[in-house]
Amino acid sequence: MEQKRDDRRTQYSKRVIKESLFQLMQEKPINKITVKELCERADVNRSTFYAYYTDIYDLDRKIIKEFFKMQRSFINKCLAIMDTKPDATDLTVKDFYEITLLHLQLVKQNKEIYKFAFYGQANTSIQISYDKVFYSVINKRIPDKYKESFRRAFTFVSGGTTAVFVRWLLTDCAAPAEELAKSLAYYYYGVFNGHKK
């Protein structure tokens, strides 16, 4: 029982520290943020912060690492869906719905990390890096004759998806994930089938 309490306390502390870093990064560059003010914002002791992180940059690196770990897991789930098709151009609206719902659920469960990745200061490079990885994985499942048009379709969808996710995060994920996934599935299906014309 004590272990569960400690685990909950640890999760809470890490969450409020991450949320506080995100809030402070809206106000100033990361190199101007001190551990002292971060702990004051998070309402945790400095010893609590140092139990998990060596400094602000260590926290930043660990958040980015966690983001990419979650995204790799998401990509693997996407590939499992895609591998049921001859190639990625055969995905149906239902497939896009499943993929999108998986991603939205992941975002909602890890809001503070996604806020950091999607609209933290100077974190555009995180999203760009993720898009490159995701594109290279999916591109392997696209027939050669569609490669160029798929690249344009992917760029369009990637930008739109980020904008939708940012807006959803700004509302603290108020709209039901299922409802949003349904709309996005039709957009994706249209774009990824339109690129074949």
Give the tens place of pLDDT for each residue, 132-173: 777 887 888 888 888 888 888 888 888 888 888 888 988 989
Report the alpha-carbon distance of residue 115 to residue 108 in Å, rounded: 10
pLDDT tens, position by position, 81-96: 888 888 777 889 999 9
**Which residue has tokens 């760029």?**
155
Torsion of CA 101, 143, 68, 4, to 10 degrees: 40
pLDDT tens, position by position, 5-61: 568 889 899 999 998 998 898 888 889 999 999 999 999 999 999 999 999 999 989
35 touches 57 (CB < 8 A): no
The reported pTM is 0.78
